[in-house]
Amino acid sequence: MNDMTLTEKPVNASDIKITARNVQVYYGTTHAIKDVDVDIPDRTVTAFIGPSGCGKSTFLRCLNRMNDTISICRVTGNIALDGQDIYDKRVDPVQLRAKVGMVFQKPNPFPKSIYDNVAYGPKIHGMTRSRAELDEVVEGCLRRAALWNEVKDRLHAPGTGLSGGQQQRLCIARAIATSPEVLLMDEPCSALDPIATAQVEELIDELRSQFSVVIVTHSMQQAARVSQRTAFFHLGNLVEYGETGHIFTNPSDPRTESYITGRIG
Amino acid sequence: MTLSSTNPPKSLFAVDARTRKRNAAEARFRLYGLIAVGIGVLALIVLLTSVLGNGLGAFRQTFLQLPIALDAAKLDPSGNRDGEAMKKVTTIGYGKVIQTALIAEISQRGIATEGVSAKDIFGLVSKEAPAQLRDQVLANPGLIGQTITFKGLANGRVDGFFKGRVSMESAALDSNISPAQLVLAQQMRDAGMISVSFNPAFIFGSDASELRPESAGLGVAILGSAYMMLIVLALALPIGVAASIYLEEFAPQNKWTDLIEVNISNLAAVPSIVFGILGLAVFINFMGLPQSAPIVGGLVLTLMTLPTIIISTRASLKSVPPSIRDAALGIGASKLQSIFHHVLPLAMPGILTGTIIGLAQALGETAPLLLIGMVAFVREYPGAPPDGFFEPASALPVQVYNFTQRADPAFVERASGAIIVLLVFLVVMNTIAIILRRRFERRW
Ligand SMILES: Nc1ncnc2c1ncn2[C@@H]1O[C@H](COP(=O)(O)OP(=O)(O)O)[C@@H](O)[C@H]1O
Ligand SMILES: [Mg+2]
């Protein structure tokens, strides 16, 4: 599948969505991300892999400034979305997060109805003018999240009453409802069973047509299945970054190779 | 191998020494627990029986019932039913009317009155009764000239006699009542002139002087307490919730916020009388607010309740899972939006429970109110809010204290009755807390 998609849609270097240069992240005195440079292309799934605690989540959270909510966390360096520095003083992180949506490890729907979960983003951003328009957005997002058929008869039932996999797809629907350009996913399948995982992976592959997707995963198989580009992190360093097929078949760094072959991790 | 040789395999049905010891320890612990619970329940039962036994009588009162001809010549000498002119007739005048009517009714019913003087017969009537009749007539001057059936309070000693508090022996030693009077009262009761019935005036009426316990009521105290609770709710809830949200969600973690945090916890443990001194110094002496007024009581109780509300609100904000905040922030909600749309609704049950527990504490608080003058004897109802907040009032727990300070044993009954009213309010508030909790509680 990978090879096919890669030939189908070659990564175009001019189509870079996010560029990160010289990024350092500190938690207090802990240096969690060291000197990371990375270019994340548009309309592509980029996977971050690496052993637990190597800083994948930390780096992902830099991309929508979720690290701002952690008081001891300090980010330096340069991260630009479409060429604009997202850590610039003039940037309101709230506005940024509408453009760079996020899906979390544990499904976290609001304890509200399915409809309200999806409608919340468009509502607070004033994206719709009428109830009918909102209904349309909600339906569209639930369809794109491959959830519509399962929930269309109980839109006003609580979102927390769904199964784990359905909850995670609801969270994805909620994230795409604000029409983001980038979708960040932090181990979105780690709390799901294999069938739900397969559904979400399929969905991620479809989302690629509209968004730049960045997914953190601890499963190398998953990275191989869904991503076109893979970045391997180790102890806060970005060790290797390139086309997924290449990283998995022909890693250039010995650390990558040991991780892929299961010797570290 | 060594293990099995020292511990030869035994049947599952035989309990070994270790297990027996463990089971015995568990049984002992259960027994201690039962004893502890038993002591608690026993104390509660003793308290309730004592309070109910002493206090239920306060809700029933002895009344005299007799026809009274309201003679225009005596009650409205000017003859034109003019309110101002009628006010010139004092309670003494009305007392004479009652006395005459009472003696006439007794002799008409053929009740023997040997050895009881006219003054003693009138002594069966409460000193409050003439005022009751006067109020009735002034409220409705058209009654003058008619014969009405007047239901007036009987004297506290007579009331005590029918409730078992006063006996012939105690009456013999009592300058306020004689056994002969009690015999007469019993005959009047048999004749249907005296009856014991429910007394709404105990709940709605105002306090009365030392000399007429039979007419003392809780109306002013209940109103004063209600006003103070309103003030506490209106001030402590918004201030407490806003402070908690700021401290929990916005404040930076530094030594200043640590200091504030420690101080709030300490404040919750400060003896309430200290708040009373503060209220006296700041609100009355410095700000010049009136003494005995619900506004001052309400402000003092607000200060007292704030730490309770802040602590419970912060605890319930903390217990909202961080994933909910992340979810909201992750789709571009502002911090305030994530708090007001998602965190606060989830924290609501805890906040409301804390608030109502704080209010219940404030409702029962006595010491600080004594210091700000709410212990004063107040007969006039405070007006409607907001003016009423600045007029003298009493408060339920202070009223209990007041009643217990008075010499007449009839006030013991009143005090217990007031405690019952206070307990009913507390039970109602706690029930509301439970209902709100159930309503707002959501699973996630
Ligand atoms: N909130 C935090 N406070 C302090 N240290 C943190 C925090 N979050 C993560 N870290 C540290 O940063 C490093 C990277 O963590 P993380 O990005 O969560 O790793 P990964 O997602 O790759 O497992 C770890 O050493 C972790 O202990
Ligand atoms: Mg992680």
DSSP-derived pairing of the beta strands A212-216 and A45-49: parallel
State yes or no: pLDDT of B109 exceeds 90. no
d(CA A176, CA A139): 12
Do the Cβ atoms of B413 and B55 come closer than 8 Å? yes
Question: How many C-beta neighbours within 10 Å does residue A161 have?
Answer: 14
Q: Nearest residue of B to residue A178 by CA position?
A: B331
- Please, what is the angle between helix B396-404 and helix B219-245, to 10°? 140
d(CA B96, CA B22): 83
Q: From the list B252, B329, B331, which residue is nearest A120 (CB)?
A: B331
Domain membership flag for residue A6: no
Number of domains in chain A: 1
Do A120 and A160 meet the contact criterion of CB atoms below 8 Å apart?
no
pLDDT confidence of residue A7: 39
Q: What is the mean pLDDT of residues B141-156?
A: 87
Residue A81 counted as domain residue: yes
> Tokens in use for B187?
């005959």
Q: Report which protein residue has its CA nearest ligand 1's atom 4.
A: A27
**Domain-embedded: residue A206:** yes
Residue A113 DSSP class: B
Is the Cα dihedral B383, B384, B389, B395 positive or negative?
Answer: positive
Q: Do A166 and A222 touch, CB atoms closer than 8 A? A: no
Structure tokens at A212: 């730049």
ipTM at complex level: 0.87
Of A121-135, A145-159, B237-251, B379-393, the least confident: B379-393
Q: What is the pLDDT of residues A145-203, one digit of tens each?
A: 889 999 999 999 999 999 988 999 999 999 999 999 999 999 999 888 888 899 889 98
Residue A143 domain-assigned (yes or no): no
**DSSP-assigned beta bridge partners for residue B320:** none
**Taking residues A232-259, what's their average pLDDT?**
91
Give the chain A residue whose CA is nearest to the CA of B321: A108
**What stretches of B156-293 adopt beta strand conformation (E)?**
194-198
Contact at CB, B341 and A120, closer than 8 angstroms: yes
DSSP A66: G
Q: Which helix (H) or strand (E) holds A101?
A: strand A100-103
Summarize pLDDT for A20-36 with one digit per residue, the tens.
999 999 999 999 999 99
- Contact by Cβ (8 Å): A169, A195: no
**Residue A30: inside a domain:** yes
Q: Give nearest CA residue, ligand 1 atom 5.
A: A27
Q: Is residue A32 within 6 Å of ligand 1 at its C-beta? A: yes
Q: What is the pLDDT of residue A220?
A: 87
pLDDT at A62: 94
A17: domain CATH number is 3.40.50.300
The rounded percent of chain A whose pLDDT value lies above 70 is: 94
Q: Which amino acid is at A234?
A: H
Domain assignment of residue A186, given as a range: 13-92+100-106+178-260
**Does residue A134 fall inside a structural domain?**
no
Q: What is the mean pLDDT of chain A?
A: 89
Whether residue B333 and residue A94 make contact (CB cut-off 8 A), yes or no, is yes
Q: List the alpha helices (DSSP H) in A145-237.
A: 148-151, 164-176, 194-207, 220-226
| CB B197 within 8 Å of CB B162 | no
Nearest to B180 by CA among B99, B109, B123: B123
CA distance A91 to A82: 13
Other CB atoms within 10 A of residue A97 CB? 26
CA distance A140 to B263: 52
What integer pLDDT is reported at residue B63 of this predicted model?
A: 92
Q: In what order do the strands lie in the sheet with A229-234?
A: A84-85, A73-81, A16-27, A30-41, A237-243, A229-234, A45-49, A212-216, A182-186, A100-103
Q: Which of B323, B331, B342 sits opposite A101 (nearest CB)?
A: B331
Which residue among A25, A30, A190 has the greatest number of ligand 1 atoms within 8 angstroms of its CB, and so is best to mutate? A30
Name the pairing type of β-strands A73-81 and A84-85. Answer: antiparallel
The domain segmentation of chain B, as residue ranges, is 57-199, 219-443
Give residue-wise pLDDT tens across range B150-193. 888 998 889 989 988 888 888 888 888 888 888 888 988 888 88
> B80 pLDDT exceeds 80?
no
Q: Please state the CATH superfamily assignment of the domain spanning residues B219-443 in this structure.
A: MetI-like (1.10.3720.10)
- Dig out the tokens for B327 from the structure: 């979810």
Of B229, B370, B388, B391, the C-alpha closest to B298 is: B229
Count how many residues are written for chain B. 444
Q: How far is the CA of A86 from the centre of ligand 1 (A)?
A: 21
Angle between helices A114-124 and A131-144 (to 10 degrees): 120
3-class DSSP state of A75: strand
pLDDT tens-place string over residues A87-106: 999 999 988 998 999 999 99
Among A91-100, B13-22, B83-92, B307-316, the minimum mean pLDDT is found in B83-92
